[in-house]
Amino acid sequence: MNILEACQHPKIFAPWFRKPETYRAWHAFLGAMFGLPMTDEQLELYQHHTGRKEAPTEAQREAWMVIGRRGGKSFHMALIAVYLACFFDYRRYLAPGERATVLVIATDRRQARVILRYVRAMLDNIDVLKAMVQRDTADSYDLDNSTTIEVGTASFRSTRGYTYAAVLCDELAFWRTDDAAEPDYAILDAIRPGMASIPTSMLLCASSPHARRGALWDSFKRYWGKDDAPLVWKATTRK
């Protein structure tokens, strides 16, 4: 089941999309992120928000989103994390005893709690996913497919040593931690080696615009409007 089918399924994510017409742009983004066939409307939205012409036909390994405040980033970060953790099996890439981690990094503890509440609601209320949970802690869920969903705050020291199936970075333009001059780059540099052993691993970075510097700004300048480059999606709030 692909992610758009899961969003429309009444026993999976559909209850979170009570007004699906307000999520058309998000569904176009999800289609692009996972390389799914698009409707004409979704293709038009994709072209508008990316400055590109050709829709991707394969899942993206890396994507950047520049989206205004209250644009639904935290909810969709949680949804993508749950989908990637529950609907894929990474065990063939793992050593005995090793777990794949889907990590969501928030800018602070308050935002981490917001994202974790979405994750918890999905895993508590979707029966087929609830059955997968073996153990939960204050900030993580261990699933029966050797995958862990973890929600934490921005720290390049605490992100080392994991095998990542996906890393989702929320509001990284606002990260300030560990006294690093460039905390976003320091954390991304710490993460990337952990993504190397799973060939389908994904990096998704989303933030409200903040300053004309840092990883988000640099990626926007480098990749916006370019086909065959990491996906960059730009939108105002709820657009």
Q: How many CB atoms lie within 10 A of CB 235?
A: 19
pLDDT digits (tens, 9 = 90+) for 104-114: 998 888 999 99
Domains and CATH numbers, the chain: 56-235 (3.40.50.300)
- pTM higher than 0.95 for the full model? no
Torsion of CA 31, 236, 78, 75, to 10 degrees: -120
56: region left, alpha or beta (phi > 0 left; psi from -120 to 50 alpha): beta
Give the lowest-confidence range in 27-31, 100-104, 171-175, 194-198.
171-175
Phi, psi values for residue 212, rounded to 5°: -85, 60
In DSSP terms, 164 is beta-bridged to 101
Residue type, 168: L
- Tokens representing residue 159 in the block: 């992100």
pLDDT tens for 195-238 read 999 999 999 999 988 777 789 999 999 999 999 899 999 997 55
Q: Name the amino acid, one letter, at 22.
A: T
